[in-house]
Chain A
Amino acid sequence: MIPDSTAASVLQSGLVPQGTRVQVFSEIYWVFLGLGTLVGAVVIGYMLYNAYKYSYQGGVDEEDRPKLGEVPTGGGKGKKLFLSLGLSAIIVISLIAWTYGTLLFVEGQTGEQGVDVEVEGYQFGWNFNYLDDGEYTGVNTTNTLRVPVDTQVNLYVTSADVFHNFGIPELRVKTDAIPGETTETWFEASSTGNYTAHCYELCGQGHSYMDAEIIVMEEEEYQDWYDSQNASANNESAASVAAAGV
């Protein structure tokens, strides 16, 4: 493992993409796409070039060609082979190592700050239970998640029945919803608006429609909504306590 101090200095160097997960993803994705296309074009182009150049054209042949019944052999061009391998290894390893810094950043972020929500998948919908210091607040919603803009939202995702996967594609956040386990992840929306979350693991008949609405609100608007929910939740619990007392 990389020591924490090294990790921290790498994270601060500016080389490593950081920011919301949308920014991080798009930066890395475009670099991969650019380099991947380049490497693919070069390699396939080189193949096609050789395929064309060495196509059979008749004529005299000076080479020692394979003969039926010989013991299989083959060699040569070892230098060229390892040079290409080395080049490709450098590209792949440096690309992945570069993204590893971002992985450390993304993984280190959960729960540091912001709003905490438990997400519970079920066949076929999503429950959202707002948390405070890991405790249920009594504010619960189903199939609609309201969050404030420009605030980190920490998700603690689990399942009430089968294996699901909760993901909001526009916000580049996704994690498995596993019965009996809790996975953690986070996102931050940088503009208000409505987004859709999907289930990304086949979970039965209603899988295709197992969506949730994500409503990103202005901070104040969110706070108003949350307070009113919180108040009614407290009233309800007070009422039920009172009812039980009678």
Chain B
Amino acid sequence: MTDDNQPRTDGGTATALPGDSHDDDHLPPRWSLKRWLVTTNHKDVGLLYLATAMFFLVFGGVLALLIRAQMWSPRAPGTGVLSAMAYNQAVSLHGLIMVFWFISPFATGFANYIVPLQIGAEDLAFPRLNALSYWLYLASGILVFASFFQGASYAGGWTLYAPLNIPAFMPSIGATTTVFGIVVFCASVTVGGVNFITTIHRMRAPGLTMRSLPLFTWSWLLTVWMMLLAFAALLAAVMILLSDRMLGTTYFAATTAGGSVLWTHLFWFFGHPEVYIVFFPALGAMAEIFQTFSGNRIVGRKWFIVSMVLVALQSFIVWMHHMFLTSINLEVKTLFMATTIGISLPFDLMVFALIYTLIKGRIRWDTPMLYAFGALVLFIVGGITGVFLGAVVLDYEFRGTYWVVAHFHYVMVSGVTGLIAGLFYWFPKMTGKTYDEFLGKLSFAVYFTGFNLLYFPLFLAWGTPRRVFAYRPEYVGWHRLASVGAVILGIAFLLIIYNLAKSIVAGDDAAANPWPYSTTAEWAVASPPPIENFPGKPSYASGNLEFLDDGATGAAAADGGTAATDGGHAALESGHGDDHHVDHASLWPAAIGLFTVVTAIGLSGLQVGSYPEGLEGLFYQGTSVLGVLGLLGSITAMGYENFTAHEGGLGEAWPFEGVENTKLGMWVFLASDVVLFGGFIGAAIFLRIAYGWEAWHPIPHNPIPGLVNTYLLLTSSFTVILALVAAQKRSRKGVVASLTLTFLLGLGFLANKAIEWVVLFSEGTGLDASVRASTYYLTTGLHMGHVIAGLLITAYLIWRAWNGAYTDGNDETLEYFGLYWHFVDIVWLFLFPLFYIV
């Protein structure tokens, strides 16, 4: 191809088609608010994620500006823009919001929109769960927002170090709400992770093997795997924290041996993978953009992927380098120093691969490429300054200073820069409009200047301790420069938002493929793509992307280029006539999100086991009850709703060819649940070692009730299997009887447990009696929560079976429930000896 000045596709034809006319058989139109409440389509959910994340960017940015205003001068006590507590809230919430509520969800937005298109899937495996993860994300964000209005928000830094995080040192109800927000955010991430892992593994187009996945999809697949496991560890940490705050357990009390260090382990086991969780999607976007705008395929593609996989694995074995100044010993320090160097090396390779991709290219400096290139430059600076921290002797001095602040802002915000590159890159695809190129380039110039003015002086002022506003006068100049840079960077973001908003309203229509050398499938469909994404069944089986006629066995489309060009036509004409009906709308995910907010607000009033006095207490109690009822109702309604989604396994599904989507989803969920229980059990063991292993005795005096419960649960596992056998024999009575027996056995377990607890309480052994009691009640309580959830599902299954479900050959639901139930029983087999015998 010699004439690469011309766009190769006449996408204008495709986009001239009214996109909405195609949607209205399932969904309200885009201008209707109702559409955005009920939509489960991955593209809509992606846009919701992006818009909400942008809101939190502005929110976190305003907090950053407040911090920089306070840092304008070293402040004497009681002076400055913010009070001491307001400042502490600003630094804490700035960190939390940017990391949790901006960067990750921003990336999730792109992934939602682009990944299904890149892999040739019409939607995610579980569209309603996708909507649910968005609504839980929004709910968690609303909780954080609300926390400012409940006394004070969290004020102990985004790392939530113990024991500052417990009510004895931070009594405000708002702090509990913030932690609740993180819990809900973890739930959102877990739901999303299950969905994406299932989708990417099971729903790829024929010919799109793992090795040939586009790099953005690869980066996202590894991101969601890391998220699934790392956020489960964080969930364990914040659930324990919530229990300390709300129920009065004493894991993190200052008097608990090892409590503070336990928190640092739990937090950083999550916290370090989080760095890569934040950066990987940007890296994937940068890889796509470098290829598209240089006109070269990436150098060393295989090694690039291998490097990403290595980083994802290694990210779980470097966490203690955040703890070099705690009481860990030299051997452990040495080990973690080595793993830390180890994880830097794959990054070197990826950086070089990106740079070498430029060679012999025909590089076009459109806005996405400017941002992607800038992101790589900033990342290199962040990486080099990170090597300083890898040298333990230097780390000792940099710990807790602005060196760390400057370093991780270079790394994290270079990730943001990469995602902004993605925003400009995919904007025409997502909106069907072209952005203003001049404003885009101008925004980059302002952005890059502002970024470096803001963060580079922080290296020079590195002697400043973190999170203080009284610093040495010799740093005033650098801090003022940084504050000026912060304003400039803020202006750059406003320019970006203005450019995109203006273009959505008044921009030119975008071609299906506005970039000369793009390759991935999202550019082969109209901008924006129709609701079912593709004009036919996408396939790479021939070595090129083709859209096959539904039902036709042979290749109907001509070469990939042609199919790509008039994608829109094909979509309209074939119209999915013989496709089975697929749903795109459900109100229940939004309802669950709403009632999650209500429940969390209500429960946040609970402090160390009791509600506040008087009207305030009544408000919190009433809100809790309302929320829980609403939650149960909307979850049941969602379970009962008929909803058809796309099933995978039609194309590439390695390594899960033989597993249905829901079964894989259940397995993936249980994998995260293993980590959750691992966090709780690990915490109990850690505290026991700190306490003295031998001096620690089980809380229940008598192991016999626990043993009885072991038999009850094992038997109930057996009866679930009987239910499945009965279903296969099409015996309605058999299914109902076996499930009822399961239910009764589970109820027996709970009753036995209740008696045990009542006796213990009456003897004065409450949750706060000792750290032994805390770990016993909370860990077995978490398990009991799983049992209760299982029994609620069993009750629902009995009701459905009574009405004739599962005996019509569709007994998968029983099988998936069985997986869950067996898992709960297996966990008990670990808990029983640990908490009753040794």
- Enumerate chain A interface residues (CB-CB to B < 8 A): 1, 24-25, 28-29, 32, 36, 39-40, 43-44, 46-47, 50-51, 54-58, 60-61, 63, 65-78, 80-82, 84-85, 88-89, 92-93, 95-96, 99-100, 102-104, 106-107, 123, 159-163, 165, 167, 169, 172, 174-176, 178-183, 198-209
- Bound together, the chains give a CA A88 to CA B353 distance in angstroms of 13
List 9 A-B pairs, minimum CB-CB distance, nearest first: A200-B400, A69-B560, A69-B545, A74-B301, A74-B297, A74-B298, A208-B468, A99-B391, A202-B157
Asked whether B1 is an interface residue with its Cβ less than 8 Å from the other chain, the reply is yes
- Bound together, the chains give a CA A36 to CA B609 distance in angstroms of 54
Q: Using known A-B contacts A63-B360, A71-B543, A75-B299, determine if residue A58 contacts B5 with beta carbons closer than 8 Å.
A: yes
- Bound together, the chains give a CA A163 to CA B523 distance in angstroms of 52
Closest-by-CB residue of A relative to B347 is: A88
Check A85–B397 contact: CB distance below 8 A: no
User: Measured between C-beta atoms, what is the minimum distance from A154 to chain B in Å?
Assistant: 15
User: What 11 additional pairs, Cβ within 8 angstroms, besides A47-B355, A61-B1?
Assistant: A25-B394, A40-B381, A51-B358, A66-B518, A67-B1, A68-B9, A75-B301, A96-B387, A169-B463, A181-B260, A200-B399
- Enumerate chain B interface residues (CB-CB to A < 8 A): 1-2, 4-5, 8-9, 75, 77, 84-85, 87-88, 91-92, 155-157, 161-164, 169-170, 207-208, 212-215, 254-261, 291-292, 294-304, 325-327, 330-331, 333-334, 337, 341, 344-345, 348-349, 351-353, 355-365, 373, 376-377, 380-381, 384-385, 387-388, 390-394, 396-397, 399-401, 463, 465-470, 513, 517-521, 523-524, 540, 543-546, 560-561, 563-564, 690
- Bound together, the chains give a CA A81 to CA B213 distance in angstroms of 21
- Bound together, the chains give a CA A206 to CA B155 distance in angstroms of 12
- Bound together, the chains give a CA A74 to CA B260 distance in angstroms of 48
Closest-by-CB residue of A relative to B471 is: A208
- Bound together, the chains give a CA A158 to CA B252 distance in angstroms of 16
- Bound together, the chains give a CA A62 to CA B60 distance in angstroms of 48
Within 8 Å CB of A60, what residues of B? 2
- A36 partner, pick from B353, B388, B545, beta carbons under 8 A: B388
- Bound together, the chains give a CA A198 to CA B518 distance in angstroms of 54
Within 8 Å CB of A29, what residues of B? 388, 394
- Bound together, the chains give a CA A85 to CA B356 distance in angstroms of 12
Within 8 Å CB of A85, what residues of B? 345, 348-349, 352
- B391 partner, pick from A28, A67, A162, beta carbons under 8 A: A28
Check B88–A78 contact: CB distance below 8 A: no
Q: List 11 A-B contacts (CB under 8 A).
A: A29-B394, A65-B295, A68-B518, A68-B545, A80-B299, A103-B337, A162-B164, A165-B400, A180-B260, A200-B466, A202-B157
Q: Using known A-B contacts A54-B294, A178-B326, determine if residue A72 contacts B212 with beta carbons closer than 8 Å.
A: yes
Check A181–B560 contact: CB distance below 8 A: no
Within 8 Å CB of B77, what residues of A? 209
- Bound together, the chains give a CA A201 to CA B380 distance in angstroms of 28
Check B467–A207 contact: CB distance below 8 A: yes
Check B400–A69 contact: CB distance below 8 A: no
- Bound together, the chains give a CA A203 to CA B156 distance in angstroms of 7
- Bound together, the chains give a CA A76 to CA B360 distance in angstroms of 13
- Bound together, the chains give a CA A30 to CA B212 distance in angstroms of 45
Check A179–B212 contact: CB distance below 8 A: no
- Bound together, the chains give a CA A48 to CA B375 distance in angstroms of 13
Within 8 Å CB of B540, what residues of A? 71
Check A181–B352 contact: CB distance below 8 A: no
Closest-by-CB residue of A relative to B387 is: A92
User: Measured between C-beta atoms, what is the minimum distance from B558 to chain A in Å?
Assistant: 11
Q: Which of B355, B357, B380, B465: most chain A CB closer than 10 A? A: B465
- B377 partner, pick from A47, A66, A163, A208, beta carbons under 8 A: A47
Q: Which of A1, A36, A80, A201: most chain B CB closer than 10 A? A: A201
Q: Using known A-B contacts A103-B333, A163-B260, determine if residue A61 contacts B391 with beta carbons closer than 8 Å.
A: no
Q: Using known A-B contacts A61-B4, A92-B344, A198-B468, determine if residue A207 contacts B212 with beta carbons closer than 8 Å.
A: no
Check B295–A66 contact: CB distance below 8 A: yes
User: Measured between C-beta atoms, what is the minimum distance from A244 to chain B in Å?
Assistant: 29
Within 8 Å CB of B545, what residues of A? 68-70
Check A100–B334 contact: CB distance below 8 A: yes
Within 8 Å CB of A54, what residues of B? 294, 358-363
Check B297–A99 contact: CB distance below 8 A: no
- Bound together, the chains give a CA A174 to CA B334 distance in angstroms of 19
User: Measured between C-beta atoms, what is the minimum distance from B565 to chain A in Å?
Assistant: 9
Check B363–A56 contact: CB distance below 8 A: yes
- Bound together, the chains give a CA A229 to CA B326 distance in angstroms of 32
Closest-by-CB residue of B relative to A102 is: B393
User: Measured between C-beta atoms, what is the minimum distance from A13 to chain B in Å?
Assistant: 17
- B466 partner, pick from A74, A162, A202, beta carbons under 8 A: A202
Within 8 Å CB of B327, what residues of A? 176, 178, 181-183
- Bound together, the chains give a CA A206 to CA B77 distance in angstroms of 9
- Bound together, the chains give a CA A28 to CA B381 distance in angstroms of 19
- A203 partner, pick from B164, B208, B326, B384, beta carbons under 8 A: B164
Check B376–A1 contact: CB distance below 8 A: no
Q: Which of A50, A72, A182: most chain B CB closer than 10 A? A: A72
- A81 partner, pick from B337, B353, B543, beta carbons under 8 A: B353
Closest-by-CB residue of B relative to A198 is: B465
